[in-house]
Amino acid sequence: MIRDITLGQYYQADSVIHKLDPRVKLVATIGFIISLFVVDSWVGYVVAALFLACMIKLSKVPFGYMVKGMKAIVFILLITVVFNLFLTPGEPLVTLWKLTITKEGLRIAVMMAVRLSFLIVGSSLMTLTTTPNSLTDGMEKLMGPLKHVKVPVHEVSMMMSIALRFIPILLEETDKIMKAQIARGADFESGNLIKKAKAMVPLLVPLFISAFRRANDLAMAMEARCYRGGEHRTKMKPLCYRGADRVAYCVLLLYFAGCVAIRVWL
């Protein structure tokens, strides 16, 4: 039931993208997002669109899944478009009652919409093709150098993995506690905002206590299995770059160079 929710919506498939090292995908996603702000001409956006389309095709993830992520931001998208459309000063195109749509407004609104959509789809592509565990491993390896400036890279990564592991469990526990309180006549639905907030107490207090208890148990279990931080730890599944990863980096570099070139010369 609830335990079957896969966070980040990982989509199981056997594609070139799935098999890439998570670091490549992390760097690629960040690079892609930056490229969306480097580029600011129609040609640039077409190139970005083509790049994204190629990656989606290679990932073997159905297009429907990509668009799922868009549902969440439809509202923000709408607001961004409307604001930019009507509130940008410039050469007026159309006038509706007191509001004016300007040429600049139209241009900026479309650009913002495109950027936002591509950003969401690009990020979704990463989470759809990479398991949460690989992502935290990738981030840990990438942030490795920060260890030298006393950033607790390993600890942060461990915290993220454990949080991901326990979210389904805590969700299920929330459901259980809610049901137990409803069986005692609790009402989580009706009432104004203040009433609803107060109604959360019988849900949140037991949940917090349970979470702390689990954390305590888990810490003991980790210590019992000789966990003592990141020093001298080996990895069962160490991250190593392979041929495909190096090729991917080259492709990424070319794409980014292309974007910069388009910006400079067009």
What residues make contact with another protein under the rule CB under 8 A? 1, 3-4, 131-133, 161-162, 164-165, 168-169, 173, 176-177, 179-187, 201-202, 205-206, 209-210, 213-214, 217-218, 220-228, 232-238
Residue linked to tokens 């591509």: 118
User: What region, left, alpha or beta, does residue 185 occupy, with left being phi > 0 and alpha being psi -120 to 50 degrees?
Assistant: left
Give 58 or 239: the residue with its C-beta nearer to another protein: 239
Give 10 or 83: the residue with its C-beta nearer to another protein: 10
Q: The dihedral of CA 51, 55, 61, 66: what is its sign?
A: negative
Residue 45 CB, shortest distance to another protein, in Å, is 37
Residue 3 CB, shortest distance to another protein, in Å, is 4
Which tokens hold the place of 112?
């913002």
Alpha-carbon dihedral 180, 167, 18, 66, rounded to 10 degrees: 60
Which tokens hold the place of 224?
């019992």
Give 123 or 210: the residue with its C-beta nearer to another protein: 210
Residue 146 CB, shortest distance to another protein, in Å, is 21
Residue 234 CB, shortest distance to another protein, in Å, is 5
Give 160 or 252: the residue with its C-beta nearer to another protein: 160
Give 149 or 183: the residue with its C-beta nearer to another protein: 183
Per DSSP, 5 falls in state P
Count other Cβ atoms within 10 Å, centred on residue 44.
21
Residue 66 CB, shortest distance to another protein, in Å, is 20
Give 43 or 220: the residue with its C-beta nearer to another protein: 220
Residue 226 CB, shortest distance to another protein, in Å, is 4
Alpha helices, H only, the chain: 16-19, 22-38, 42-59, 63-87, 103-129, 132-142, 153-182, 193-199, 201-224, 243-265
